[in-house]
Amino acid sequence: MFVDRVKVHVKAGKGGDGIVAFRREKYVAYGGPSGGDGGAGGDIVFMVDEGKTTLLDLRYNKKMAAENGGNGKTKKMHGADGSDCVIKVPLGTLVKDAKTGRIIADLTRKGQKEIVAKGGKGGRGNFHFKSSKNTAPQYSELGEPGQELDVQVELKVLADVGLVGFPSVGKSTLLSVVSKAKPEIADYHFTTIAPNLGMVQVPDGRSFVMADLPGLIEGASEGKGLGHQFLRHIERCRVIIHVVDMGANDGRDPVEDYRIINEELSNYEYRLMERPQIVIANKMDLENAEENLKRFKEAYPDVEVFETTTIIAEGLEPVLYRAADLLETTPQFPLFNDEDVDAEAEGVLYKFEPEQPAFEIHNLGNGQWELTGDELEKAFKMSKLDNDEDIMRFARKMRKMGIDEALRNAGCQDGDSVAICDIEFEFVE
């Protein structure tokens, strides 16, 4: 089964907790605090595995979690770091944030690894909080939570040349003739429902990868038929071979077919019409082929047309030479929109991004308030709050962040309830 799109929930490991401990050894005076730090949580890592050709493994394992970090130990000993969760995917896999659509990783190189979710850092032991005013701190930090998100994993076939055209125009036959690939070939529409790849050897020694993709229909760029399923895989191709059924034995018009396919390619988001295109007039052995070819050349006088009959491998050698020549001069086309930053670019693009507030105050009415914000929630989750010293330390941190004053300015009164991460506190003046 060919699976090329799947949604997966990934959760990086939580950092280990720091501990409270004191050194008590014979002959060691004033031992002091010795609680060690927690280990870092494991990352979620996507890695290219050339042996894989589909995302089938992820279809049946949609929740991936890395190992949590180990807790700190006595004598200032560091907890063990959590093991990474390595997810092996085929070459050409794209990983996006399912919520925002942001591209997280584009895996196009052999052995490439990308961290998709970062593990949390370990909490600090009480050794770190020793000071001249507090020589025996009774508190430590909890580990930081690891990143957790839903990701959309897509496989975009990594081929040099892609075959486009309406169903049953001879694309699969062409691939089977010029390579050792064995795609399914039949005389009905949508015979090809999954991409097929073949290594093509040009007579002069050059070679490239060709992809036979599901057929297009009108409205494909809007998702009709196998539209997005098809167009997703041609995004990486540098050269397009447009196969036109010049015989038109099923009543279609080759001139109109050529226009429709190009219109669908131009309407797709990744500017597919910028790629060089080789036009093949296929099935030239049929009765109406010559007449249709004449009309085609009159309609598109600037288009170079290669006449072929793929079923008997006639006229294909010039096509292969032209494809190989174009590949030598055609660069890769990025799969990023203009506003995205290309990780492979030589320079770095700096853009202004407004600083996110450390916290936000929400008035729920009836003396109920809620505090949200990544920085605040992170500080809260890393605080134990199981003794008075921990609580006072967290209260000082909130005061330093300006939360007390902000609540007063917002109208919070003595005795009102303030919630942080579903835990309620009483506001005291």
The answer to whether 310 is a known ligand-binding residue is yes
In 3D space, the residue among 369, 426, 364, 359 whose CA is nearest the CA of residue 398 turns out to be 359
- Judging by beta carbons within 10 Å of its beta carbon (0-12, 13-18, 19+), is residue 421 exposed, middle or buried? exposed
172 labelled ligand-binding: yes
DSSP string, 211-229: EE-PPP-TTGGGT-TTHHH
Q: Is 73 annotated as a binding residue?
A: no
| 305 has a pLDDT exceeding 60 | yes
Handedness of CA 72, 73, 76, 79 (dihedral sign): negative
Which residue's structure tokens are 């929400």?
A: 362
HEC readout, 272-294: HHHCCEEEEEECCCCCCHHHHHH
Instruction: Answer whether residue 284 shows pLDDT above 70.
Output: yes
Is 311 known as a binding-site position? yes
Establish whether 131 is an annotated binding residue: no
State mean pLDDT over 210-215. 75
How high is the pLDDT of residue 61? 84
167 annotated as a binding-site residue = yes
Tokens 């196969």, residue located: 243
Residue 192 marked as a ligand binder:
yes
pLDDT tens string 157-189: 777 888 888 887 888 888 888 887 665 554 544
Q: Cα–Cα distance between 160 and 179 in angstroms, integer?
A: 14
For residue 346, give every residue at least 6 positions away whose Cβ sits within 8 Å of its Cβ, in sequence order, or none: none
- Decide: 58 and 151 in contact? Cβ < 8 Å: no
Position with higher pLDDT, 3 vs 140: 140
Give how far the C-alpha of residue 256 lies from the chain's centroid of Cα atoms, to the nearest Å. Answer: 37
Residue 207 among known ligand-binding residues: no
Establish whether 210 is an annotated binding residue.
no
Q: How confident is the model at residue 145 (pLDDT cuts 50, 70, 90)?
A: very high
Q: Is the pLDDT of residue 421 over 70?
A: yes
Question: Tell me, what's the pLDDT at 109?
Answer: 85
- Report the pLDDT value the prediction gives residue 146, as an integer from 0 to 100: 93
Lowest mean pLDDT among 136-145, 227-236, 238-247, 274-283: 227-236
Query: Is 53 annotated as belonging to a binding site?
Result: no
Place of tokens 């895989």: 233
Helix (H, G, I), strand (E, B) or coil at 66: coil
Q: What domains are there in the chain, each with its CATH number?
A: 1-155 (2.70.210.12), 161-329 (3.40.50.300), 360-426 (3.30.300.350)
**97 marked as binding residue:** no
Q: For residue 144, what pLDDT is reported?
A: 92
pLDDT per residue as tens digits for the range 78-107 = 999 999 999 998 888 889 898 888 889 888
Least confident stretch, 14-18, 336-340, 394-398: 336-340
**Residue 195 annotated as lining a ligand binding site:** no
Write out the two tokens for 58: 């992820």
Give the residue with greater pLDDT, 387 vs 295.
Answer: 295
**Rounded to the nearest 10 degrees, what angle do helices 289-299 and 254-267 cross at?**
50
Per-residue pLDDT at 14 exceeds 60: yes
Distance between CA atoms of residues 381 and 141, nearest Å: 9
Q: Which residue has the higher pLDDT, 261 or 87?
A: 87
Average pLDDT, the chain: 82
Query: What is the mean predicted confidence (pLDDT) over 222-242?
Result: 65
Q: Amino acid letter at 3?
A: V
**Most trustworthy range by pLDDT among 169-173, 224-228, 399-403:** 399-403
Instruction: Count the Cβ atoms, other than its own, within 10 Å of residue 130.
Output: 15
Q: Determine if residue 215 is labeled as part of a ligand binding site.
A: yes
Could you give the angle at which helices 388-401 and 374-381 cross, rounded to 10 degrees? 170
Q: Is 51 annotated as a binding residue?
A: no
* Overall average pLDDT of the 407-417 stretch: 88
Q: What is the DSSP string of 153-182?
A: EEE----SEEEE-STTSSHHHHHHHHSS--
426 CB contacts (<8 Å, ≥6 apart)?
415, 416, 417, 418
- State the Cα–Cα distance between residues 37 and 143, nearest whole angstrom: 9
168 is in an annotated binding site: yes
pLDDT at 342: 43
- 397 pLDDT more than 50: yes
pLDDT score recorded for residue 39: 95
Question: pLDDT band at residue 32, thresholds of 50, 70 and 90?
Answer: confident
| pLDDT value for 107 | 87
pLDDT in tens, 341-390: 344 444 444 454 566 777 888 998 888 989 888 888 888 888 888 778 88
Task: Answer yes or no: is 404 a known binding residue.
Answer: no
**Has 191 been labeled as part of a binding site?**
yes
Average pLDDT over residues 74-80: 91
Backbone CA torsion sign across 258, 263, 266, 268: negative
In this predicted structure, what is the pLDDT of residue 344? 43
Residue 340 pLDDT > 50: no
- Structure-token pair, residue 329: 């001069």
With a pLDDT cut of 90, the percent of the chain lying above it is 23
Once rounded to an integer, what is the mean pLDDT over residues 126-139? 86
